[in-house]
């Protein structure tokens, strides 16, 4: 899922997004609550109509942003209190409030409000957060007022395998529409992410969507897919695009580099995206150096297409029983930390 | 002609631009010479291929930018010397150099290198600039090395009708492919622009393109068309878009205004553009307030479409002999200076 934080996948129109092959889009409840507010989105006919995206959509609960972005906050059993970065207003987000907001936004999939402990955190801290996440989930289920929206629960448990497994089992007993693995990609090493995913997915039902939140690089996705994950979201393809970086065949290319200045080939000859079909590396280099906005649009289109095609190739390889062999490079541990 | 300064109509892809109905695009020789340099554009197959625009293109001579943008400059009979704003390098632009650069860029129409006097300027200053512009044009004709590119001459003469007419007559004697009226929109009142155009166009041949440079608002275009002008270029539709301003039915709307916050109608019900067909004023208001880049893309698409449609309506009205009546509002003098 490309990320459409404020009801827009940055720099890309819905028509361009559809052409990348993307199916589902994520939007952020925290950001949309602050701007323009869920009531305006609801008055506009819901998030799909408001932003012009006809495909499936998912909203997160706002929890991750409250815990990672908000400067002033108080966390109690009731919920979390934070200060709006726009007008300083104090806002309380509770499980009930998160679900109300997500009901108003109207995405196809909504997420339970969870407490995401930081990394590193002690076993005691993680235990407390995991227990609270479960009690908040029960309140989310009660508060959920629109049966046509699928509510996913989130497995927390930090880097402690037994806490993850315990949390996963408790969630499965609630027979939800889908399950997410949360609280990863918060600073822990890549090897730990893989370990967390590997111990959790076998407990989650095979026939329901399993979603690894906030993950989306080549290696992380490949390893998580091997462990049984179906769904990802990540800002990397669009964020890197806005930094002038193209994702090509598992590599990161900084388009400002002199090597591209007179390179009139497309980013990737085999890529069917609008950017590769119409523009050269030299042109993209020129746009990036000139800080032309079109650079960010064209690179976002390519990067999203690249990651969608990557997962398509994995899907085909799984069906043809050549996944482990063909993706051995990505199934191996990362050689260094700058790995895409 | 929408303006594609650095080989990109800012924030808009060529595919989106084609859908606006735009036919011809202008690119700036001054800017492209500085970045990425005409040799790179030429190596990439010329300006059309480099930027992915299959329609007709025009490059200006660079003169206007040298005279209006460059801080340090020296003007002699030979040409103009200025300092690059990027690396401080001293660059000399002469008639021959301007044509060489434009030959390398490869647009369908290229412009003679002219001296554009400021406003206000004394009759003596304007006479000197007009004389020099003529001598420079003769050098441009000699230097022009690609017959498939149409070379247009530029009528100067400031706000002095007799100087304009004299210059126009001298140009017509050279039997060029087309003629431009330059040195307007440099600060003089709108009424003076109309006067300049009205005294000049009758002298320029009816069967050749007549191009009013740097002009493109509703009223200026209508009055110039009434006087016989065929071609315009203007940054207004895209520049205003990047300021969050929509052009709707002859009005300027600031999308930040509270009145649009919950207005779920399109900018213009009758507009066929992608923006009006898919998005509401409320959504555009949200994007503009959130400084989302997509706002600038969607508003640019609409504003260009709006001005192209405006000129299409004028064309049809002329054919049906109802131009003067239907466009009386725009043919009248501007009621105030904030007029679009």
pLDDT per position as a tens digit, A252-291: 999 999 999 999 999 999 999 999 999 999 999 999 999 9
- Of all residues in chain A, what percent are helix, strand and coil, respectively (each to 5)? 45, 15, 40
Average pLDDT of the residues in A141-153 = 97
- The contact set of B with A (CB < 8 A) is 6-8, 10-16, 35-36, 40, 43-45, 50-52, 261-262, 264, 274, 278-280, 282-283, 285-287, 289-290, 292-294, 296-298
Contacts of B15 in chain A (CB under 8 A): 274, 278
Query: Is the sign of the CA dihedral B225, B227, B231, B233 positive or negative?
Result: negative
Residue A70 pLDDT greater than 70, yes or no: no
| C-alpha distance from residue A335 to each of A191, A194, A224, B179 (Å) | 11, 15, 17, 64
The answer to whether A309 and A332 have CB atoms below 8 angstroms apart is no
Residue of B10, B283, B293 with shortest CB distance to A50 = B283
Write the residue in A35, A44, A294 that is nearest to B283 by C-beta.
Answer: A44
- DSSP readout, A244-312? TEEEETTEEEETTSGGGTT--S-S-TT--SHHHHH--HHHHHHHHHTT-HHHHHHHHHHHHHHHHHHHH
Catalytic residue among A233, A268, A321, A336: A233
Of B162, B173, B175, B233, which residue is the catalytic one? Answer: B233
- Residue from A45, A53, A275, A286 to probe the interface with B (highest B Cβ count within 10 Å): A286
Sign of the Cα pseudo-torsion (B27, B33, B36, B41, in order): positive
Q: Do B286 and A7 touch (CB under 8 A)?
A: yes
Of A161, A233, A155, A236, which is closest to residue A194 (Cα–Cα)? Answer: A161
Q: What is the pLDDT of residue A88?
A: 86
What distances in angstroms separate CA B27 from CA A78, B5, B259, B320, one per listed residue? Answer: 59, 5, 37, 34
The residue of chain A with its CA nearest to that of B263 is A44
Looking up tokens 């001054």 gives B30
> From CA A101, how far away is CA B30, in angstroms rounded?
52
Placement of tokens 């149409």 in the chain: B150
Q: How many helices and strands in chain B, by DSSP H and E?
A: 16, 12
State the residue for tokens 């001579």: B61
CA distances from B141 to A222, B144, B207 (A): 62, 5, 21
Does A289 contact B43 at a Cβ distance shorter than 8 Å? no
Nearest Cα residue to A21 out of A307, A228, A319: A307
Strand order, beta sheet including A178-181: A25-27, A57-59, A109-111, A150-155, A178-181, A210-212, A231-232
Closest partner residue to B294 (CB to CB) among A13, A285, A292 is A13
Which residues neighbour B13 within 8 Å (Cβ) at sequence distance 6 or greater?
Answer: A16, A274, A294, A297, A298, B52
Report, as an integer, the average pLDDT of A211-218. Answer: 94
On the 0-12 / 13-18 / 19+ scale of CB atoms within 10 A, A137 is buried
Give the nearest partner residue to A8 out of B13, B278, B292, using CB atoms. B292
With a CB cutoff of 8 Å and minimum separation 6, the contacts of B307 are B216, B218, B221, B234, B237, B247
From the candidates A19, A60, A108, A175, which is the catalytic residue?
A60
- A138 Cβ contact list (under 8 Å, min separation 6): A174
| Contacting residues of A for B274, CB less than 8 Å apart | 13, 15
Distance (Å) from the C-alpha of residue B270 to the closest C-alpha of chain A? 19
What was the pLDDT predicted at A332? 93
pLDDT score of A74 more than 90: no
Share of chain A above pLDDT 70, in %: 98
Tokens standing for residue A144: 């959920």
Is residue B339 exposed (0-12), middle (13-18) or buried (19+ Cβ within 10 Å)? Answer: middle
Between CA A164 and CA A275 the distance in angstroms is 42
Q: Does an H or E element contain B75, and which?
A: strand B73-75
- CB pair distance less than 8 Å for B294 and A11: yes
Question: Catalytic annotation on B230?
Answer: no
Sheet with B210-212: strands ordered across? B25-27, B57-59, B109-111, B150-155, B178-181, B210-212, B231-232
Per the CB < 8 A criterion, the answer to whether A156 and A116 are in contact is: yes
Distance CA B268, CA B274 (A): 11
pLDDT of residue A187: 82
Q: Is pLDDT of A186 > 60?
A: yes
**How far is B45 from chain A, CA to nearest CA, in Å?**
9
Inter-residue long-range contacts of A66-75, CB under 8 Å, 24+ positions, other chains counted: A66/A30, A66/A93, A67/A115, A67/A116, A67/A118, A68/A116, A68/A186, A69/A30, A75/A115
Please list, in sequence order, all residues whose beta carbon lies within 8 angstroms of the beta carbon of residue A86, skipping any fewer than 6 positions away. Answer: A34, A35
- Using a CB-CB cut-off of 8 Å, the residues of chain A touching B282 are 36, 40, 43-44, 50
Q: Is residue A60 part of an annotated ligand binding site?
A: yes
Scored b (16 or more CB within 10 A) or e, B19-55 reads bbebebbbbbbbbbbbebebebbbbbebbbbbbbbee
Helices and strands per DSSP (H, E), number in chain A: 16, 12
Q: What is residue B333's DSSP assignment?
A: P
How far, rounded to the nearest angstrom, does the alpha carbon of residue B5 sit from its chain's CA centroid?
Answer: 10
Strand partners, B59: B27, B110
**Do residues A5 and A242 touch, judged by C-beta distance below 8 A?**
no
Nearest to B13 among A6, A262, A297 (CB): A297
Residue of A nearest to B280 (CA): A50
Catalytic residue flag (residue A339):
no
Work out the average pLDDT over A98-126.
Answer: 95
**Do B283 and A51 lie within an 8 Å CB cutoff?**
yes
Selected catalytic residue, list B60, B175, B268, B336: B60
Q: Hey, are the CB atoms on B294 and A8 less than 8 Å from each other?
A: yes
Helix axes B293-319, A293-319, angle to 10 degrees: 110
A-chain residues near B290 (CB < 8 A): 6, 35-36
B234 class by beta-carbon count within 10 Å (0-12 exposed, 13-18 middle, 19+ buried): buried
β-bridge pairing B245-248 and B251-254? antiparallel
**Which of B5, B9, B52, B275 has the highest number of chain A CBs within 10 A, making it the mutation to test binding with A?**
B52
Model-wide pTM > 0.95: yes
- Dihedrals phi, psi of B218, to nearest 5 degrees: -50, -55
* Chain B residues with beta carbon closer than 8 angstroms to that of A260: none
pLDDT at B156: 95
pLDDT at A84: 86
Whether the Cβ atoms of residue A14 and residue B278 lie closer than 8 Å to each other: yes
**Segments of chain B with pLDDT less than 50:** none
pLDDT at B72: 64
Q: Is the bond preceding residue A135 a cis peptide, omega within 30 degrees?
A: no
Best residue in B46, B297, B298 to probe A by mutation, most A CBs within 10 Å? B297
Q: Is the dihedral of CA B6, B11, B12, B13 positive or negative?
A: positive
Chain A nearest C-alpha distance from B97 (Å):
22
CA distance A191 to A220: 9
| Lowest-confidence pick of A103-117, A188-202, B61-75 | B61-75
DSSP collapsed to 3 states, B160-221: CHHHHHHHHHHHHCCCCCEEEECCCCCCCCHHHHHHHHHHHHHHCCCCCCEEECCCCCHHHH
**A72 confidence band (pLDDT: 50, 70, 90):** low
What is the average pLDDT value for chain A, to the nearest integer? 95
């Amino acid at each position: 899922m490309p990320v459409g934080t404020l009801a827009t996948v940055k720099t890309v129109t819905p028509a361009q997004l559809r052409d990348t092959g993307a199916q589902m889009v994520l939007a952020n409840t925290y950001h949309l609550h602050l701007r323009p507010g869920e009531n305006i989105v609801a008055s506009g006919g819901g998030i799909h109509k408001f932003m012009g995206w006809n495909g499936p959509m998912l909203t997160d609960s706002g929890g991750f942003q409250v815990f990672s972005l908000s400067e002033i906050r108080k966390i109690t059993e009731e919920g979390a209190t934070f200060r709006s970065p726009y007008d300083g207003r104090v806002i309380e987000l509770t499980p009930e409030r998160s679900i109300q907001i997500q009901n108003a936004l109207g995405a196809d999939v909504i997420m339970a409000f969870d407490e995401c402990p930081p990394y590193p955190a002690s076993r005691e801290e993680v235990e407390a957060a995991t227990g609270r996440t479960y009690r908040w989930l029960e309140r989310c289920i009660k508060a959920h007022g629109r049966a046509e929206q699928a509510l996913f629960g989130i497995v927390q448990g930090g880097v402690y395998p037994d806490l993850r497994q315990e949390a996963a089992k408790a969630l499965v007993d609630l027979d939800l529409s889908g399950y997410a693995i949360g609280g990863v990609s918060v600073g822990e090493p890549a090897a730990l992410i893989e370990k967390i995913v590997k111990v959790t997915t076998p407990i989650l039902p095979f026939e329901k969507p399993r979603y690894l939140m906030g993950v989306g690089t080549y290696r992380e996705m490949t390893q998580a897919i091997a462990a049984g994950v179906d769904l990802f979201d990540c800002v990397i393809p669009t964020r890197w695009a806005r930094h002038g970086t193209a994702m090509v065949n598992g590599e990161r290319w900084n388009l400002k580099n002199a090597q591209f200045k007179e390179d009139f080939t497309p980013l990737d000859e085999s890529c069917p995206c609008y950017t590769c079909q119409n523009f050269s590396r030299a042109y993209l280099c020129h746009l990036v150096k000139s800080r032309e906005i079109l650079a960010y649009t064209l690179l976002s289109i390519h990067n999203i297409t690249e990651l969608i095609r990557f997962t398509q190739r994995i899907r085909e390889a799984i069906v043809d029983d050549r996944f482990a062999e063909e993706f051995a490079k990505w199934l191996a541990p990362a050689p260094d930390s700058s790995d895409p």
